[in-house]
Structure formats: C-alpha cells, structure tokens
Amino acid sequence: MPAYKDEKRNTWLSLFYYEDWQGNKKKKQKRGFKTKKEALEWENNFKLSANANMDMALGAFVEIYFRDKEGELKERSIKNKRYMIEAHILPYFENKKMNEITPSDIIQWQNTMREKGYAQTYLRMVQNQITALFTHASSIYNLSNNPCKRVKKMGKPDADKLDFWTKEEYDKFIDTIEAGSRYYVILEILFWTGIREGELLALTKSDVDFQNNRMSITKTYYRTERRDVITVPKTEQSVRVIELPEFLTQEIKEYVDKLYKLPDDERIFPIVAEALQHKLKRQAEKAGVKRIRVHDIRHSSVAYLINQGVQPLSIKERLGHKDIKITLNTYGHLYPNQQRQVADMLNQQKISPNSGNCQDL
C-alpha cells in the first residue's frame, strides 16, 4: 500500500488502485495527510468501503449506507439522519469495525444515551438510525451478526402525553389574531383540517376546490440551506383530498381574493416555518393559553374530532397516516373508555335475548 511524501507541502499522498463493489478497477488518490500512517489508514478504509467489506469501520459504512439510500430518501431525511448519526453514533462507533460491534456495545451506548436526558421519542429516533445501519449491512452486505437484533430498543415510538389545545383554548387563541389576516387563515386551516405544517406551506390556489369545499394535499414544503424546497408528501397515504367546512372554504377564498392576481401554482403562504412558530408563541402568551408547537395544532384538531365522536379510521384518512396503528398508537388514549358501554350492551342481550341481534357487535 504505497504512500508518498509531498516535499513541497510537507504532507503525505495516498495513491493506489482498487476494485469497486462491481469488480471494476479504478485509480484513487488523496492529498494532505499529516503522516504516512494516516495516509495508509485512509487507503485501507477506502478499499474496505469500496468492496463493502464488513471488516470496515462503522464510520466508513455510513457513507455506503447513504450512497445506497440516495435514490430512496428525500434530501431532508438524509440531512436529519446524518445529523443524528454524526451527533450520537459516530462519537462511540466511528472507528470500530462493523463485524466487531457486539450487543454489549449497543447496550453500553444506550445507557450512555439515556443518561443525557433526551425525550423517549428522540431516543427511539436515534435508535432507529443505528438499527437501520446494521439492518442494511445484514440484508445487503451479508453482515453475519446484527447486534441490534439481540438488544431491546431504547426509547418509545410515541410520547407519553400529547400537548394540545382544547376547543376553548383555541378559541381564546384565535381571538387575538385579526380575522381574515394571513396568520388567522393559516391557523384556521391547521386547526380545522389537521394538515401538517409543511403541507400547509406548500398549498397553492389550485389545491383548493372552492366549488366543492375540498383541499388537495399533494406536496410539502421545507427550507434547507437558504433554499425553498417543494417535494412529495411524507408517505403515499399523505396524498389525499380533505373535505372542508364551508366557513373555512369561505375564509380561504376571501384571503386569496385579496392577493392580487396570485398565480394558481404559487404558494398561498410564502413564509418559513420559523415565522409561524414565532407568531404562535407570541399570540399564545397574549391569549394566556399554554405554549404548544405548530405540530401540536394537528394534535388539537384530532382531540377535537375525537371529542365530537369521530372514529379512528376517518381520522386516519383525514390526517394521511400510513397505517391505522399510527392513529391508534398516537391518539387511542384520547378515546373514552367504552368497556362499561360494551358490558351494559351484553347485559341487555342476556336479559332480553330477542330484543336485538348479537351479530350487530
């Protein structure tokens, strides 16, 4: 494994040939190493990475993982995953070989993470990142022993409690905002539809069917590195049509009509998420209601629907959840306990066996 001294720069250069994972022979070089040892270590890790050899360090495999997932994951997902991996996984495992990381290593890492006081839901998100790395290594690159499979996941997929406003709290809040103004219409849409913040900020005039009181959710918005990005929604199920109450359709129409010659394909609300969060904070203080996040207005919308007796399947479709389990796991505890109701119904069937049909259950 050659390494050459660059006398002019007083650094070391790594120059070598290697075979990639498809068996193609290629040339590679990299300058700027302080020592010969660093140059040789980089060459060795690069060759292992190029061949996806599980004798490589986890830090090198991370790059293979993102290379493989490039066409599958959205830009924002890659950015978020990279942040969690670089902040919470690489400091512990970057230089440790993939095939030498044990279940015990994972447990010790979990214990260290728990001591940092992160929320249970955040711990689960971080856990999901290391699990994804080893799952990919096992299923695609034949890692023989996946240490995550033998260890219980840390954290929880859902919060122990949800922050949300009751209808009364929302009414107090919205009364502090000028009716018909930009933020008034934004918050009305969020509360009465339960759509996600990114879905709201991506709305265009063509997404609202003013004749039939419907709103089409076909895209989402986010901002990254000073760029506005419009992309497809979170999941396939997120593409949906939401039925609107007539008063909300009218509020949107009156607002849109004030936007002089707004093109059908331009965003109705050309603001960034931070601006909305700051407005929410200021007005909550003014209204004297508890502070919540913008996403918690989605929870508030669901809590109101549940209070009105709307069933989980209807809520799932309105929210664009991928699976009814997500709806039930997130909001199931908000439904009133119906065990007494079931027992009373069964008791009635026993007392008056001819009064009803048990198949109605």
Q: Where are the domains of the chain?
A: 3-150, 167-334
Contact between residue 204 and residue 264 where contact means Cβ atoms under 8 Å apart: yes
Buried b (16+ CB within 10 A) or exposed e, 46-69: bbbbbbbbbebbbbbbbebbeeee
Which residues share a beta bridge with 267? 204
Contact between residue 291 and residue 285 where contact means Cβ atoms under 8 Å apart: yes
Structure confidence by residue, pLDDT tens digits, 74-104: 888 899 999 999 999 999 999 999 999 999 9
In the predicted model, is pLDDT for residue 130 greater than 70?
A: yes
Q: Who wins on pLDDT, 177 or 15? A: 177
Q: Terminal CA-to-CA distance of the chain, rounded, Å? A: 74
Q: Pick from 85, 62, 65: which is nearest to 136 by CA?
A: 65
pLDDT of residue 133: 96
Buried b (16+ CB within 10 A) or exposed e, 219-251: bbbbeeeeeeeeeebbeeebebebebeeebbeb
In the predicted model, is pLDDT for residue 48 greater than 70?
A: no
pLDDT of residue 359: 39
pLDDT of residue 223: 87
CATH number of the domain at 167-334, please? 1.10.443.10
How confident is the model over 281-309, as a mean pLDDT? Answer: 93
CATH number of the domain at 3-150, please? 1.10.150.130
pLDDT, averaged across the chain: 87
Q: Tell me which amino acid residue 235 is.
A: T
Note the pTM of the prediction, 2 decimals: 0.69
